[in-house]
Amino acid sequence: MILAPSVLAADFGRLAAHAREALDAGADWLHIDVMDGHFVPNISFGAPVMRGLKTLVEETNTPFDVHLMIEEPDRYLEDFAAVGADLITVHEEACPHLHRTVQAIHALGCRAGVAVNPATPLVTLEEIAPDLDLVLIMSVNPGFGGQAFIEGSVGKVRRCRQLLAGSGSRALIEVDGGVTPANVRSLTEAGADVIVAGSAVFRGDVADNVAAFREATVTRA
Ligand code: DX5
Ligand code: ZN
C-alpha cells in the first residue's frame, strides 16, 4: 500500500515540518488538495504553497500527488508541473474534453489521474482508462477534510479493479476521504493501491498514526 498523507489536514503554520514528520514515519507520497471555491465549496491553496514543500520532496525523493478540485484545470496544469508535480489528477466532472486534458498532463511529463465523485459512475472512465496512470475514487464528497467515509466506496474500488483489468489499463487505484486504520484494510483488499489520509495522519501523533495504517494492512503468514 502506498500511503499518501493529505497536507490539507496539516498545521499550515509549520507545513513543511509537519509533512516531514509523516515522511520520516514512512509515508510514501504527499497528497496536495487544491480547491477553488467553485468546483467544490471550499478554497484551500495552490501552486505557491506547493513550492514551499519542494525542498522537502526533493530531499526525500517523494512523489508530489496533486489533486485538482478545480474548474477548468487545463488553465493551471503548467503551474503545477512547474512546482514539481509528479502526478496530476483532475476531476472527470470538471473536464468536458478529458482526453485532451490527460494528454496535456502527459505532455508536461507528469503522470495523469482522473478522480470520480461518489455519485459519478465508473462507466465514465471506460474509454479513457487505458491512458490513465491513476484513478482516484472519492470516498467522500470533495471539499473538506474530516468527513465520514461513504461505505459504498469499497464496492466501487472492487468494480474499478475489474474495469481496469478489462481494459488492459495499468492505472493505480487511489482512495481519498474518510480513510482510517479501521477501514483501510477493506479498501486494500478490494484493490486499492494508494490510500490518501488527512485527519487520520495529521491529528495527534503523526508517527503513531502512520504506524497504525501499516499495522492495519500488514499481511501475516
Ligand atoms: C477531500 C480531499 C481529501 C481530504 C482527505 O476533498 O480530497 O484529500 O483532505 O481528508 P480526510 O482523510 O480527513 O478525509
Ligand atoms: Zn484529495
Which residues' Cβ are closer than 6 Å to ligand 1?
A: 6, 8-9, 31, 33, 67, 140, 142-147, 176-179, 196-200
**For helices 206-217 and 15-24, what crossing angle results, to 10°?**
40
**Mutate which of 8, 38, 183, 202 for ligand 1 pocket (most atoms within 8 A of beta carbon):** 8
Half-sphere exposure of 41 (CA within 13 A, CB side): 1
The CA distance from 106 to 100, in Å, is 10
Residues of the chain with pLDDT under 50: none
pTM higher than the cut 0.95: yes
Q: How far is CA 221 from CA 40, 218, in A?
A: 44, 10
Nearest-CA residue for ligand 1 atom 6 is 142
Please give the single-letter amino acid code of residue 103: Q
131 is catalytic: no
The CA distance from 165 to 117, in Å, is 21
pLDDT digits over 178-220, tens only? 999 999 999 999 999 999 999 999 999 999 999 999 999 998 7
Buried b (16+ CB within 10 A) or exposed e, 136-157: bbbbbebbbbeeebbeebbebb
The CA distance from 44 to 6, in Å, is 12
pLDDT at 220: 72
Closest CA to 1 of 173, 143, 152: 173
Please state the atom number of ligand 1 nearest to the C-alpha of residue 142. Answer: 6
5: part of which helix (H) or strand (E)? strand 2-5
C-alpha 203 to ligand 2 mean position (Å): 17
Please state the atom number of ligand 1 nearest to the C-alpha of residue 197. Answer: 12
pLDDT at 47: 98
SS3 content of the chain, % helix, strand, coil (to 5): 45, 20, 40
The CA distance from 221 to 217, in Å, is 13
**Mutate which of 199, 203, 206 for ligand 1 pocket (most atoms within 8 A of beta carbon):** 199
* Superfamily name with CATH number, domain 2-216: Aldolase class I (3.20.20.70)
- Residue 192 backbone class (left: φ over 0; alpha: ψ -120 to 50; beta: rest): beta
